[in-house]
Chains A and B, each alone.
Chain A
Amino acid sequence: MAATATVIQSASPLLEVSGVSKLFSGITALDNVSLDVRAGEILGLLGENGAGKSTLLKILSGAQPPSSGRITFNGSDYRPASPDAAKRAGIVTIYQELSLIPSLSIAENIFIGRAPTGHFGLVDWGKMRREAGEIVARVGLIIEPDTPVSALSVAEQQLVEIARALSLKSRLIIMDEPTSALTETEVRQLLSIMDNLRNEGVAVMFVTHRLEEASTICDRMTVLRDGRLAGHLYREGRPIPIPQIIEKMVGRAASELYERPAKRELPGAVRLSVKGLRTTRDPDAPHAIVLDGVDLDLKAGEILGVAGLVGSGRTELARAIFGADQIAAGTITLDGKPIHPTSPADAIEYGIGLVPEDRKHQAIFAMLGILQNFSVATLDTFSNRLGFMNESRERSALADYKSALSIRMASPEQPIEGLSGGNQQKVILARWLARNPKVLIVDEPTRGVDVGAKAEVHQILVQLAARGIAVMVISSELPEVLAVSDRIVTMRQGRITGEMSGNDATEEKLMALMALDQRQREA
Chain B
Amino acid sequence: MERIPILRMGTFLLITIQVDMHDRLAMQLQDDVTARIAEWGSGGVLIDISSLEIVDSFIGRMLANIAAMSRVLGAETVVVGMQPAVAITLVELGMSLPGVRTALNVEAGMELLYQSRTAMELGLGNEHPEA
Asked if A and B bind, the verdict is: no
